[in-house]
Amino acid sequence: MDITFYFPPLADYVATFPMLVLAVAALLCVVVDIFYNDAKGVAILAGASLLVTLLFEAARLSLPPAKALYGMVYVGGTASLVNMTILFSGFLTVLIAQPYLKRLGRNYGEVYALLLVAVVGMMALGSAANLLTLFAGLETMSVCLYILTALVREKDGAIESALKYFLLGAFSTGFLLYGIALIYGATGTMDLSDFADRLASTNAGVMFWGGTALLLVGFFFKVSAVPFHMWTPDVYQGAPTPISGFMATASKTSAFAAMVLVLGRALPSAQWQTTVAIVALLSMVIGNFVALAQSNVKRMLAYSSIAHAGYVLTGIASATPEGYAGALYYLLVYTVMNVGAFGVLAYLEHDNRQGDTQTVDSLAGTGQRYPLLGVVMAVCLFSLLGFPPLAGFFGKVYVFGPAVKSGLAWLAVAGVLTSAVSAAYYLRVLYVMWMKPSPDDAVAPQFEGVPPLAAVALAGCAAFLLLLTFTPWVMDAAVAFFRDVPAAIVSLP
Amino acid sequence: MLASFIPLFLQILMAAGLAYTLLIAAKKLGPKRPNAVKTMAYESGMDPVGTARDRYSVKFYLVAMIFIVFDVEVVFLYPWAVTFREFLTRSPQLGLFVLGVVGVFLAVLTLGLVYDIKKGGLEF
């Protein structure tokens, strides 16, 4: 082999700049933390590196998609969009989590190192061009999230949720890895772009489809789709609230993006379409109906995130480029509204009433006491509900529309009906927050206010969701961009 | 394709067969003269004292984790060291590059060790 093969060209380093920068920043966080224990600078370093990489990916958004590092990862175009969503979630999480963890006395430097490494893993997973990259990214992400879940280890249920997440996650990773092994055994390749040719030339037998099924199980677990959703409420409830928001958004975005790459590009849709459609239906129905019965708000949001996984899967099940683009658009909107909702919940824990055992009833009057949090929560929940002028509504249009076009009208109808059901539990939270009087209990709320940067992040979430609606040119640009994305996915090299 | 695995299956069968044969032979044929010391639970030559379900320090896990990290490092370094000569003979430039790659790996690991020492992971 040619010697130059071993030296990646400079362009590859530029293309994977965000991953490299964040990995180095994570190591720097550790170094700073070694010498200045839990220094404030660690959070600033993490936030700054996420912001820089976010801007870098934004600049590469219009580039044609390409592969880098010996065809192991996709860069530019769609991959940049996915990376931006992940980085945006990470950036908002740093802004929201820093004051929250400080208040809990858990503002360890390691948190940011783990967060950055998790983001690197997610980016590798979401832009994987090879099953090996996919697996390495998935593991990097998962291990960091297991640790972050148990951050407040003395708290009731934190260890339980972390251990549950670890055991089930490790088990599902085993499924995924076994699936990869079988697929490799059947086709002799790990490269996603080779599958189409190999499948055409060889007779894909039980081994290949068995491997695909196991791979799907691994994916369904990571995106918490029914029937692999059991861990979700327990884990989201036990983890520190901003971290729950991060897990619910960034890790799902990357797993869905990898799913689009594997299913959309590498495998013929005839075989998996029905499976994905049925899982989508189950997720929407079970997620929304079980959420109705929840009194703990974090658990309710966890079940709502299961339902939202169902909506995204509806877009993927349509098996058309428009459906994939809709799923990616939905993930961007979903990320913003969920980070916002979990962020508001995190700061409501600070009024010395309920801590993080908030039930819906304990939120009474919080809207009037803390108008900023109340308004942000209202915007996020209306958007999660898919209320017309907000971004969540357009997200649903973009995932249900393609499903109808590819003959899955029943699935879209089920999606719309279950969305109507979800109104009951989203609006109940808002009703209690704004219209129920605050209880006159002896413990006066000692609210220190939302720190400025976190307030900016939360207000930014709400503004983002409104922006897409009330500025037509942004909407037009978004539609135009997402019209181009499907073409880009199909024509990836 | 499955036919090419027949030697492997034979090997598994022979391994299991041999193990069972030896176990049964030892049980049937071997002389049995038990005494107190022989029937004691085997604990690497130490006298078994108390219950096995005892609480012991979490530091043991810490040491085990640190050990695993550096154990895996050695596992990585062996194949690297074997192929390094091959890279070096091709071109010194390439050898330098490969040395740099493993250097990054070792630097990250060393950072882990420094972190461990500074955070008091090795103080008992």
User: Does the beta-carbon distance from B90 to A3 stay under 8 Å?
Assistant: yes
Flag whether pLDDT at A46 surpasses 80: yes
Instruction: Give the closest-approach CA distance of B115 to chain A in angstroms.
Output: 6
Q: What average pLDDT does range A336-346 have in this prediction?
A: 93
Residue of chain B minimizing CA distance to A30: B115
The yes-or-no verdict on residue B91 having pLDDT over 80 is yes
Q: Tell me the domain boundaries of chain B.
A: 2-119
How far is Cα A138 from Cα A225, in angstroms, rounded to an integer? 17
pLDDT digits (tens, 9 = 90+) for A10-38: 888 888 999 999 999 999 999 999 888 77
- Chain A touched by B5 (CB under 8 Å): no
DSSP A359: B
Asked whether A111 and A148 are in contact (CB, 8 A), the reply is yes
Q: Does B53 touch chain A (CB under 8 A)?
A: no
AA letter at A431: Y
Determine, for residues A34 and B115 on separate chains, whether the beta-carbon distance falls below 8 Å.
yes
Q: What is the pLDDT of residue A445?
A: 57
Share of chain A above pLDDT 90, in %: 50
Letter for the amino acid at B74? V
Of A30, A32, A114, which to mutate for an interface test with B (greatest number of B Cβ within 10 Å)?
A30
Who among A6, A27, A33 is closest to B108 (CB)?
A27
Q: How close, in Å, is residue A34 to chain B by CA atoms?
A: 6
Nearest one of A108, A98, A32 to B118, comparing CA atoms: A32
Choose the closest CB to B97 out of A7, A34, A35: A7
pTM for the complete prediction? 0.88
For position A443, what pLDDT does the model report? 54
Tokens representing A71?
């065809």
3-state helix, strand, coil in chain B (%, to 5): 75, 0, 25
Alpha-carbon distance B116 to A477, whole Å?
50
B85 touches A at CB < 8 Å: no
Are A3 and B91 within 8 A, CB to CB?
yes
Contact A34 B94 (CB under 8 A): no
pLDDT at A36: 85
* Nearest neighbour of B114 by CB, restricted to A6, A7, A34: A34
- Supply the mean pLDDT for chain A: 87
Is ipTM over 0.85? no
**Cα-based angle A4, A8, A14 (whole degrees, multiple of 5):** 145
The whole-number pLDDT of residue A483 equals 59
Closest Cα in chain B, distance from residue A195 (Å) = 20
Minimal Cα–Cα distance from B118 to chain A, Å?
6
The pLDDT of residue A314 is: 94
Beta bridge partners of A67: A74
Q: Cβ A27–B94 below 8 Å, yes or no?
A: no
pLDDT value of position A491: 52
Q: Is the pLDDT of residue A490 over 60?
A: no
Residue range A108-124: mean pLDDT, rounded: 94
Q: Which CATH code of 1.10.760, 1.20.58, 2.20.25, 1.10.3910 fits the domain covering B2-119?
A: 1.20.58
Q: Reduced to 3 states, what is the DSSP secondary structure of residue A249?
A: helix
How sure is the predictor about A360, in pLDDT bands with cuts at 50, 70 and 90?
confident
Q: Is the pLDDT of residue B19 over 60?
A: yes
What pLDDT was estimated at residue A89? 95
Q: Using CB atoms, pick whichever of A3, A7, A30 lies closest to residue B115.
A: A30
The answer to whether the Cβ–Cβ distance between A31 and B111 falls below 8 Å is yes
* pLDDT tens, position by position, B37-66: 888 877 777 777 777 777 877 788 888 888
